[in-house]
Amino acid sequence: MQRFAATIVGGDRGWQYARYLGFPDRNIFYSVYGCDFDTFRSAGAQRREGAEYPHSFVYVGRYAEVEGMDLLIRAYSEYRKRRADAWPLHCYGKGDLQPVLMKMPGVVDHGFLQPSALAGELSGHGVMVLPSYYEPWGVVVAEAAATGMPVICSGACCSGLDLVRHLYNGLTFASGDSDALTDCFLWMHDHPEQLAVMGKRAQVYAGAYSAQVWAERWEWIFKRVMQ
């Protein structure tokens, strides 16, 4: 590892791992991930112009256990038992657990979504949920935040460390804890008046991962590595 001039990591956990591998602080840079912030922000303007903030949850990703789909199913089912006016859960993706999702009350399975259509779809929903057991970063968190949406994510989502501040612009919970995820569903449901404000705060954090800033960071890295 000492032969490398530098390493570029996705977030704080990557930085800690790079230090563990022996890289000095001066040779560790953040910058791997970015998103089309301007497109998602523009799409999110549609949500803000509406008469009422959308009362719905949304998940985007694979329908697989590693993504925490079994956890999502359990927690959402429990949430529905506790609120007669439970919000729908819109899911975009595909995978082995799709047949289970299609049978669940309150779940709307939209199937696989082309990346180019994601911004428009997210603009119609209120809260992003990412319950992963393992997530190297999770760009979809930045994309959802860019639309002005609060995020619920597990502690395994590394992007949550960079983008989500608990009870400020979203909620975080211990990975694998379905009761904690149920509590997150309930909190969002019971505080609809705070969601738009939380979403605006989330958008500010997402701005740090715009394509423009991403390019500027890489230019900064190249100049310093080549000195």
Q: Residue 76 in contact with residue 131, Cβ under 8 Å?
A: no
DSSP letter assigned to residue 126: S
Tell me the domain boundaries of the chain.
7-33+210-225, 37-208
CA nearest 165: which of 226, 206, 121? 206
pLDDT at 49: 56
Q: Compute the distance between CA of residue 95 and CA of residue 77 in angstroms, rounded to an integer.
A: 20
What is the full per-residue pLDDT of the chain (227 aa) written as tens digits? Answer: 778 889 999 988 999 999 999 999 999 999 899 999 999 999 998 776 556 899 999 999 999 999 999 999 999 999 999 999 999 999 999 999 999 988 999 999 999 999 899 999 999 999 999 999 999 899 999 999 999 999 999 999 999 999 999 999 999 999 999 999 999 999 999 999 999 999 999 999 999 999 999 999 999 999 999 88
Q: What is the DSSP letter of 105?
A: T
Task: Give me the pLDDT at residue 48, please.
Answer: 61
Within 13 A of 23's CA, how many CA atoms are on the CB side?
Answer: 18
Residue-wise burial string across 106-143, b where 16 or more C-beta atoms lie within 10 A, e elsewhere: ebebeeebeeeebbebbbebbbbbbbbbebbbbbbbbb
Return the pLDDT at 50. 54
Measured distance CA(152)–CA(132) in Å, rounded: 11
Contact 47/54 with Cβ under 8 angstroms?
yes
CATH top-level class of 37-208:
alpha beta
